[in-house]
Amino acid sequence: MFEWLNNQLLRMDWLAAGVRWLLESGGLDTTTRLGGSLHFFIYDVIKIFILLGVLIFSVSWIQSYFPPERTRRILGGLTGIPANLAGALLGTLTPFCSCSSIPLFIGFTSAGLPLGVTFSFLISSPLVDLASVILLAGIFNWKIAIAYVLTGVVLAVIGGTIIGRLKLESQVESFVFHSPVVDIPQDELTRRDRLRYSLEQVRDIVRRVWPYILIGVGLGALIHNVIPRDWILAVLGQDKPWSVPLAVLIGAPMYADIFGTLPVAEALVAKGVGLGTALAFMMAVTALSLPSLVMLKKVVKMRLLATFLGIVITGILIIGYAFNAFSSYFL
């Protein structure tokens, strides 16, 4: 029963069958490169947007119960590893790209939260969220989804802990500590307010990410049905020791979020690329995008920025090689 629900609600097998029937009714063979590419593109785009809308609405409704002041009080009462874990888990409730996470990072820092906790949030927010769990389970399986989320949270906790222990508060630009914190008391929000807020979040996030979803699914369709398997394996094959660093190097300059990179990772794994290599690419795109680093440089100094980059890149490389080594367990 669980497998059937997973296939119908998350993987949407009914949608894949419906798109295939529609294309073949129009005289297009879905076993050809063109037909297969169109099927991959139409099916993945519709599936991702359906899941995205439902998930963002649900997560935003939960977020409406945690205004900045209430969040600060919750996190402010914790210290050490529990505080970093709470910051990382809070990041999983924010379905934003890395650029959108930085204003929240500024707000938490100005509200007096420890630097290490805010960096745990900053690492986990673009990397892991509740939507990514569902999408990963829908595209791959639950073992990969859960393992990805756990490793992302662990990376955020370790990264934030290291930054906190290094006492790098002097590396944050002074204006960050004096930014105003706008707070709306939780008890002032009615059910209609929460509904309006959740719908606005859906519209806002979909409006920002739809081009990256289309580009990502388009690249996935190209990789899946057009680019020869041998070409991809020659560069990113699991037996190539440079595949994980190369995936990070390719992904870092890009700007997208997990919703746009998942179809690419799906197509790479289907072509025989190591699971860890595909996930390392996905992590690099979401956590190390060039625009987000440019924005982060505006609020932190070079030493802190370099420390952040070193921790995240090292963590992604370790995770990539680990998933490649144990991929037989997940696939």
Q: Determine the pLDDT at residue 197.
A: 83
Tell me if 305 sits within 8 A of 260, measured CB to CB. Answer: no
Average pLDDT for the chain: 80
Q: What are 107-122's pLDDT values in tens digits?
A: 777 767 788 888 888 8
Q: Determine the pLDDT at residue 177.
A: 65
How many degrees, rounded to 5, is the angle at CA 309 between CA 306 and CA 314? 125
Q: Determine the pLDDT at residue 321.
A: 92
**% of residues, the chain, pLDDT over 90:** 9
Q: Residue 181: CB partners within 8 Å, gap ≥ 6?
A: 68, 69, 72, 107, 110, 111
Say yes or no to pLDDT of 129 above 90.
no
Say yes or no to pLDDT of 30 above 80.
yes
Rounded Cα–Cα distance for residues 31 and 35 (Å) = 6
Which of 154, 169, 64, 152 is CA-nearest to residue 118?
Answer: 169
Q: Determine the pLDDT at residue 68.
A: 59
* Dihedral over alpha carbons 157, 160, 162, 166 (to 10 degrees): -160
Which of 132, 64, 137 is CA-nearest to residue 97?
Answer: 132
Main-chain phi, psi angles of 255, to 5 degrees:
-130, 110
DSSP-based three-state secondary structure for 315: helix
Tell me if 253 sits within 8 A of 215, measured CB to CB. Answer: no
Q: Between the CA of residue 237 and those of 192, 201, 269, 274, what are the distances in Å?
A: 51, 39, 10, 6
DSSP-based three-state secondary structure for 300: strand
What is the pTM (predicted TM-score) of this model?
0.74
Q: Determine the pLDDT at residue 245.
A: 92
Q: Which of 71-80, 126-135, 218-227, 309-318 shows the highest mean pLDDT?
A: 309-318
Please give the average per-residue pLDDT across 1-17, as a whole number. Answer: 78
Which of 285, 320, 298 is CA-nearest to residue 98?
Answer: 285
Q: What are 312-329's pLDDT values in tens digits?
A: 999 999 999 999 988 888
Say yes or no to pLDDT of 260 above 80.
no
Rounded Cα–Cα distance for residues 221 and 153 (Å) = 30
Confidence of residue 97 (pLDDT cuts 50, 70, 90): low
